[in-house]
Amino acid sequence: MTIFDGLQLFITPLVLVILSPCALGQNTGLCTGTGTNYNAPSSGNCLDSWSGVGGSFVYPNDFDVLNQVEIYTCPLSKKRIIISNGIPDHTVEKRKNALPCEFNWAVSVPLNPTESSVPTEIPAKGIIAMATNGVPAYGALEADDANAVEPDGLIQDAQFWYGHSTASGIWHVHNPYMGAENADSTTLLGWALDGYAIYGPFDSGSDDLNELDNCNGREVNGTYQYHVRKREDVNENLDYCKGNNNPETNWNYILGCYHGTTDLTEVRDSTSFTIPSDCVTEGAPTKAPVAAPSAPSVSDQCVDSPLRIKIPVDDQMVARSCEWVARKKTDERCAILGVSDTCPSACETCGTCSDSPLRIKFLMEGEAKKIARSCEWVARTKTEERCLIDGMADTCRATCGSC
């Protein structure tokens, strides 16, 4: 079942759907009808405490389900993988009755995108990109074919940066800021489903803005990347489709089309998705690390993490400790990607102040069993509290300011 903003279509995965959207009630002409729609994954817990209540909800205090997202780079598999529950990680306004729910997203895009010979149409509805916080980004159309970003109706919630929920509980964004309250042209907002990175907007009238193609992209130092457009730089009075079988859309707030191919793109259910063994958590956190002065101080930065780390062994992801690394065949074990950053003493790689790029297993207060998270998760919110978790300051040394 594919779910889009309250509209339900029963189709097989990756089927092509021809839609005829309208711009503010106007005839749009013809789009190509070749945008590939993706199935929504399974759902989990919903924010039931929000039922029947509107207004502002502050993250994390008002959220009974918290944001979870991990981003992986897979150099051998040539994939970037985003695993998330789709819950936003910031304060939101709720103006519709639909409740946000967890959805088990597993989005895999090409790590090295391939340019398409001709632009490819984005789906008229449904996911077109993934934000860095693990929330899906949709195109400019609402379920009733109205403009979601600059609406002409009573429901105004989708136009703001924080997003809104479908009738089935899928939290998503239409707004070009993709869940970032403030963003400029250097801000990484997420990745389009063709694998190319999406950055924040240029100033209106700037020469850089004029250089963007109709998909919203340009080359920077030889690498293609997208830049979203501010609302004032999109003409909402035009039809959504350009007509004449053109794959490009006029409402190109986030994307006007795909520059790359989506042949290798997958949108799967994370509960049944296997992360390839060569994947490691993507390096730097998307938000600036916050030092934790109350965290345990580590005077000697050449300290191994006392926590178990998730590493690939014999084509399987297993949890191992730095003691295991040091026990035997140290050179071989230290060659596993990310291990030398996590076990600098065992691997004799002292001298740098860095976070472990691997997933870490630990027991969090209130949890019945150990969970696996990354240093990016530590840096994302409530950093001081997370750095106080036993062993975390010796594992996420840069984020926790302990070296």
- CA dist., res. 35 & res. 31, Å (int): 9
- Out of 252, 276, 300, pick the residue that ends a domain: 276
Mean pLDDT: which of 58-72, 318-332, 341-355 is highest? Answer: 58-72
Asked whether residue 395 is domain-assigned, the answer is no
Which tokens in the block code for residue 272?
């049944």
Choose among 388, 89, 381, 67: nearest CA to 400: 388
Residue 214 lies in a domain: yes
CB-based contact 175:191 (threshold 8 Å): no
Number of domains in the chain: 2
- The answer on 88 and 35 residing in a single domain is yes
Same domain? For 270 and 311 the reply is no
In a shared domain, residues 291 and 271? no
Query: Is 399 inside any structural domain?
Result: no
Please give the model's pTM, rounded to 2 decimal places.
0.66
Distance CA 154, CA 141 (A): 15
The pLDDT of residue 198 is 97
Domain of 29? Answer: 1-276
- Answer yes or no: is 403 within a domain: no
One domain for residues 215 and 357 = no
Six-digit token string for 90: 């910031």
pLDDT digits (tens, 9 = 90+) for 54-87: 889 999 999 999 999 999 999 899 999 999 999 9
Cα diameter, the chain? 70
d(CA 41, CA 105): 6
Q: What is the pLDDT of residues 184-243, one digit of tens each?
A: 999 999 999 999 999 999 998 889 999 999 999 999 988 999 999 999 999 999 999 988
Q: Are residues 81 and 221 in the same domain?
A: yes
Kindly tell me the burial class for residue 23, based on how many C-beta atoms sit within 10 Å of its own C-beta (0-12, 13-18, 19 or more). buried
120 and 73 in a common domain: yes
Residue 42 counted as domain residue: yes
> Is residue 43 one of the residues assigned to a domain?
yes
Amino acid 153: pLDDT: 67
Would you list the DSSP string of 167-230?
TT--EEB-STTTT-SS--TT-EEEEETTS-EEE-PPPTT-HHHHT--TTSEEEETTEEEEE---
Residue 130 domain-assigned?
yes
CB 364 within 8 A of CB 355: no
Residues 65, 163, single domain; the answer is yes
- 234 in any annotated domain: yes
- pLDDT confidence of residue 382: 56
Residues 236 and 304 placed together within one structural domain of the fold? no
Tokens 């707030």 belong to 253
